[in-house]
Every structure is written in structure tokens, then in C-alpha cells.
Structure 1
Amino acid sequence: MAELTDHERATLKRAAFGVVYLVSSADPGFLSMLRESAAAAGAFTGARGLARDVLTSGALPTLPRKDPVRVEAEVLPALTESLSILRVKAPDEVDNYRDAVLSAAQRAAEAAHGVNPSEAAVLAKVRAALA
């Protein structure tokens, strides 16, 4: 398995968890957030290889809470940076990471009441950042 620095691991993790936060904030509500978080966690634990290792170990990342605009401004570039890191250090893991993040985002969006227009917009931005 590729050796990533602590900073690189943190970037991958912050981006993936940030995506889930963006989806959750697009459909506010405490119960929705719980359902969405549980659904996303299932996607992360179901990931393979390095993606699973990074996304299921260590502390949760710190994100600028209560400000989805700031989170989006941080998370979308972090997704792009994460793919760049993996392309250099672990090219065979790019698809695993991309699949885990997309699966978590999709599961979170579907978890509470189906995908609403705000969540669909977030999913489109995430897909674009991971393209």
C-alpha cells in the first residue's frame, strides 16, 4: 500500500467527509443528518484498499461548521487535490477513492427523503470535482 504523509491523508479525509457535510447541509434537519451520516459511513467502511484505510482510521477531520459556502470552497478543491495526490502516489487507488466519495455522497442524499434539488446540485459539483 502507498505511503501517504499525514497531510495527504488528512486532505483525502477532509475532502470525503466534507462532501457528506455539504450533502447534509443541503437537506437540513437533525434526523436527516443522522440518517445521512450513517449512510455515508456505510459507504466509507465498504470502500476498498487505501481509501478504506484513510477514511475509516484516525480522528474525524475539522471543517468550518455552520458555513456551507466556506466548506464548499475548501472541500471541492480538496477533492481535486486528493485525486492529484493519488495519481502520483497510488494511481491504482484513484478509482477506489472516487467510488467511495461518490457512493457516500449519493447514499447521504438518498438517506432521508430521497434526493432533493439542493442535494442534486451538490452531487453535480462533487462529480465535477472528481472528474
Structure 2
Amino acid sequence: MSITLTDQDTLTLRVAAWGAVSLMSAAGAAGSAHKVATEGSIALTSATGLVGHVLTKAPKGVKYGKSVAELADQVLPALTAAMSLLNEQAPAEADNFRRTVLVAIEAAARPQKGEPSPTLAEMARKITEALDAA
């Protein structure tokens, strides 16, 4: 089955996935934001299938806002919208997208020694909840 995504569909997927990594980076401990973003980005660009082709690039021209709350206002609904879109058009790719984002947030939490900080753990929970809301 061949899937054709519109430019808006592609932007939604990119904002959702790359925004999730940005949320994790914003929630990271001082000094570790770059490591969090790097680990999460590597996970996104390692994706395969349609999702991998879409996520090879971060979204261009997107303004995430000046606060974590403004970022979350864009990204969390985009995660839910991306899952709904893929569930309708390609359920296997919906599962691929969900797993890819979960691996990215797990990788993003990895630079922390031991368990992720409570802030990172809570952000990961919010991201997972948004993915599962579709």
C-alpha cells in the first residue's frame, strides 16, 4: 500500500516528533539540554519506513514559542494529530511513528546518570499520553 502525505501531513509529523525532542531538551537539567537534543535527534534520524523518510529533516520555519508551555501547546496536539492521521492512512506506520518517538524520548532521557530526572520523566509521560490520545 502506497501512502501519499500532503505537505501539511509531513509538517505535522515533523513538528510532533522533533517537537517532542525539543520538549525533552527543555525539560533537561541545566547543561544537559544539548546532550538530550543530540540523543533524541539521533533516534529520529535512525527511523525507517515512511516515518524515517519524513523525519530525516527537522521542520523548517516553525516557531515553537518562548516558553516550554508554548512549545507544549503546539507539540502535544501535533503528536495526537500525527497518530490520528497515520492510524487512518497506515496503521503500521502509526505504530512505527509511536515507537520512534518513544525511542527518541527514551534516548533523550539517557544522558542523565541513573534514573531520568522527575522533570524529564514527567515530560516523557505527557508525550506518551499525547501519542496515546488518538
TM-score when normalising by structure 2: 0.87
* Structure 2 spans left out of the alignment, 5+ residues: none
| Aligned-partner SS, 1:2 | coil
Amino acid at match of 2:81: E
Task: Give the % identical residues.
Answer: 35
Deviation for aligned residue 1:60: 4.2
Deviation for aligned residue 1:36: 1.3
The equivalent residue for 2:82 is 82
Cα distance in structure 2, aligned partners of 1:37 and 1:112: 12
- What RMSD in Å do the two structures reach over aligned CA positions? 1.7
Q: How does 1:22-101 map to 2 (within 5 A)?
A: 22-29=23-30, 31-57=31-57, 59-60=59-60, 62-101=62-101
Task: Give CA-to-partner distance per residue, 1:30-75, whole Å, 9 cap, x none.
Answer: x412211221122112212011111103654623243100111111
| Aligned-partner SS, 2:47 | coil
Task: Give CA-to-partner distance per residue, 1:66-97, whole Å, 9 cap, x none.
Answer: 31001111111110000111012222201110
Residue 24 of structure 2 contacts residue 124 of structure 2 at CA under 8 Å; is this kept in 1? yes
Cα distance in structure 2, aligned partners of 1:53 and 1:92: 15
Cα distance in structure 2, aligned partners of 1:13 and 1:102: 14
* Structure 1 spans left out of the alignment, 5+ residues: none
Cα distance in structure 1, aligned partners of 2:25 and 2:40: 10
TM-score when normalising by structure 1: 0.89
Count residues with an aligned counterpart: 130
| Aligned-partner SS, 1:111 | coil
The equivalent residue for 1:15 is 16
| Aligned-partner SS, 2:15 | helix
Task: Give CA-to-partner distance per residue, 1:3-46, whole Å, 9 cap, x none.
Answer: 100000000000111111111111243x4122112211221122
Residue 36 of structure 1 contacts residue 108 of structure 1 at CA under 8 Å; is this kept in 2? yes
